[in-house]
Amino acid sequence: MSSDETIRVCVPVCQPELDRLATDWERAAAIGDLVELRLDCTDGDVEKLASRVHELLRQRSHPTILTLRAVDQGGQRQLSFNERTKFWNLQRQATATSQLIDIELDLANAWMMDSHRPTDWSRVICSHHDFVSVPQNLTEIYEQLSATPARILKIAVRANDTTDCLAIFELLDRARRERRDLIAIAMGSAGIATRILGPARGAFLTYGAAQDESATAPGQLTADQLTTLYRIRKINTKTQIYGLVGTKVMHSVSPHMHNAAFAAENVDGVYLPFEVYNVEAFLRRMVDPRTRELDWNLKGLSITAPHKAAVMSALDWIEPTALDIGAVNTVVIEGDRLLGYNTDAAGLIEPLLKRISSLKGLRVAVIGAGGAARAAVWGLQQQGAGVTLFARDTQKGSLLADELGIGCEPLWAKPFTDYDVLLNATPLGSFGEQVPRTPVTSEQLAGVRLAYDLVYNPTETEFLRQAKLAGCETLSGLEMLIAQAALQFNLWTGHSAPTQVMTTAASQALT
């Protein structure tokens, strides 16, 4: 499956007000191949609802899915079995052939047993939802749905780790072999891969919200993200897969940068966020060509916190730089081998050298005691800078400092007037609850030549605001992010990265 005609994006409408249903339908129809009317979202009794829907769709031919979800299957309001049955009875004679109806297994079974009820099963989607996890009996559920005459089956379950997507991809493979139309989705941020890659692997459709706030299920992307950011209509089974592996990846701008770069360089590739908690299982079951359970064209990965050290034991070869730093942030899959690199250190130094032509003999204070601090210290040492580590956790900081052969001091309200550069390698100030925080104040920064924050989201952190108040030059983590990503792009593709394209994409994503 590779042509635009086989990639379908369905835009759901979940509108509480009956009178606004038509407006939302028109908006969704303008951007989606299909519209799903989630009628369990809409107020009003079922008779009035059925009448309004009939009126709405009577002269509209755009493919539409009518859904009146049971509450135990994710419905937005309590509707009894009898109320749902009454609605579909009222709708049965009025619904046009361009429309599909989505019902749960209990209704499908009841309709099968009712010999007096005429049903056009070619327009029926029989669905099952689990908003907690991937159920152990998923295969049995699929077979129960398959036992109905419904033309299309739908299974949506909750992924709590990216490896949970394997069960969905296995179902899609089975449905394709059995020539069954199947909508299969892993909900939640850990299931994003199924939403993006599913249609190219045989899924009947994928769902994309009109806007972020109108998503009707956890992890649902917008239609614009699917078609513009991830270029879903260009994906096929030969498309090269890349992605970001970590526990907090959904707010990363890396997909924006790399997907824009692929488009600019005409690379048939897509870059996805992979929310992974058990990185050993992920590498074994989805990455290593010798053991993985998924037939996909995976070519490379970015590795972020907290997995940069943990991945190293699973790799076949690691470059000396990454071994010295003790962290891998880039994996290249070459044949059956997994190769590890670190582009963080070089990416961190590159923008610094653009500001200060030589770092030799420079006095640099690095705040932090984690992987980012380790890469920063290593890179600065290679340039001949004199580095001192400052840590909130002095025990952790001292261990790292001893390992790197530098001094460590506690981070407290002391001035940094003895330093040329102050570098923040902590997450303080980053997107979320950390935003208002800073490791130091403007008073402490007085006399520092340049303040460098490795946090890139937001682009101006509280740390950088304090530095400007103190009269320091400032350097945002966005420049480091782009520099290390450009090195990754080259390792994966052999192409020189279009850095201006990546910069524009990242900046737009952040604003």
- Is the separation of the CB atoms in 52 and 19 below 8 Å? no
As a whole number of angstroms, the distance between CA 292 and CA 307 comes to 19
Q: What share of the chain is helix, strand, coil (3-state, %, to 5)?
A: 40, 20, 35
The alpha carbon of 452 is separated from its chain's Cα centroid by a whole number of angstroms, namely 28
Contacts with 334 (C-beta within 8 Å, 6 or more apart), sequence order: none
323 vs 312: CA distance, rounded Å: 9
What DSSP designation does 23 have?
Answer: H
Asked whether 247 and 275 are in contact (CB, 8 A), the reply is: yes
Give 370's Cβ-side CA count (13 Å radius): 13
Catalytic residue among 238, 248, 308, 468: 308
Distance of CA 176 to the CA centre of its chain: 26
Encoded tokens for 285:
């079951």
Q: Which of 194, 143, 191 is CA-nearest to residue 183? A: 194
Q: Could you tell me the strand order of the sheet in which 363-367 lies?
A: 407-410, 386-391, 363-367, 421-424, 450-453, 473-475
Q: Rounded to an integer, what distance in angstroms lies between the CA atom of residue 507 and that of residue 340?
A: 28
48 is catalytic: no
Helix count and strand count (H, E) for the chain: 18, 20
Q: How many angstroms separate the CA atoms of 424 and 291, rounded?
A: 39
Q: Which residues are catalytic?
A: 308
